[in-house]
Amino acid sequence: MKKFIAEFIGTLWLVLGGCGSAVLAAGYPDLGIGFVGVSLAFGLTVVTMAYAIGHISGCHLNPAVSIGLWIGGRFDASELLTYILAQVLGALTGAGILYVIVMGNADFNGVGTFAANGYGDFSPGGFNMLSAFVTEVVMTFMFLIVILGATHSKAPKGFAGLAIGLALTLIHLISIPVTNTSVNPARSTSQAFFATEGEALSQLWLFWVAPILGAVLAGFTYKFISPEKK
């Protein structure tokens, strides 16, 4: 239960901090934080939560991460569904809080795409489904390689949270124009649920399949190149 609560709170913060910055601050007139600001916001949510709840749950905040760690031999399969449920519920709660905040704007007339992920007409840069799929697979693969490496028993101690947060920042800098950056099925689900414009729900399958595929490939790869000795 403590791990469930930690993952719930952590994923809530990821969505509220990352997607909240995209919805509330990215396009703000004159002082908007833009793609760089949103990228940093997502990275900072992971850094802050890594040191806040990492000792409780491992700070996965992402179904793809949990699956990749399981494949890589770092996570018990018996806890997998519990973690994924906590992450999805936390993400939905974070999106719900953001929705309530957005509704309070004097000019509110709907939340629009709500920082949801998409491809084709709903890609920020107009990238097609293949581009989106490749991007999400490769970005999640690299994210898990960083996570598995930074948390390895032989890695320098105390720096994993920083390395992982910076990796997520870099991933967003690369891929926001392509898909609005998912690499996290829980984050994609939460925004698709509330979005009032676009085809977020009909395209949501890609943002489950591609990140999980990338995570599985990374889990097998890192387990091969640098297995943990038990």
pTM of the prediction? 0.94
- C-alpha atoms less than 13 angstroms from C-alpha of 31 in its C-beta half-sphere: 2
State how far the Cα of 197 lies from the Cα of 122, in Å rounded to an integer. 9
Name 194's Cβ contacts closer than 8 Å, sequence gap at least 6. 95, 96, 98, 99, 111, 114
Q: Is 186 a member of any domain?
A: yes
Q: Is 151 a member of any domain?
A: yes
Do 64 and 83 form a contact (C-beta atoms < 8 A)? no
Q: Is 157 a member of any domain?
A: yes
CATH number, domain containing residue 144: 1.20.1080.10
Q: Is 230 a member of any domain?
A: no
Q: Is 70 a member of any domain?
A: yes
State how far the Cα of 37 lies from the Cα of 50, in Å rounded to an integer. 20
Q: Is 213 a member of any domain?
A: yes
SS3 117: coil
- Output phi, psi for 184, to 5 deg: -155, 105
Which stretches of the chain score pLDDT less than 50? none
The interaxial angle of helices 63-71 and 129-150, nearest 10 deg, is 60
Domain ranges, residue 60: 2-225
Burial class (CB in 10 A: 0-12, 13-18, 19+), 185: buried
pLDDT digits (tens, 9 = 90+) for 126-183: 999 999 999 999 999 999 999 999 999 888 888 899 999 999 999 999 999 999 999 9
Q: Is 181 a member of any domain?
A: yes
pLDDT of residue 30: 77
Burial class (CB in 10 A: 0-12, 13-18, 19+), 81: exposed
Q: Structurally, how many domains does the chain consist of? A: 1
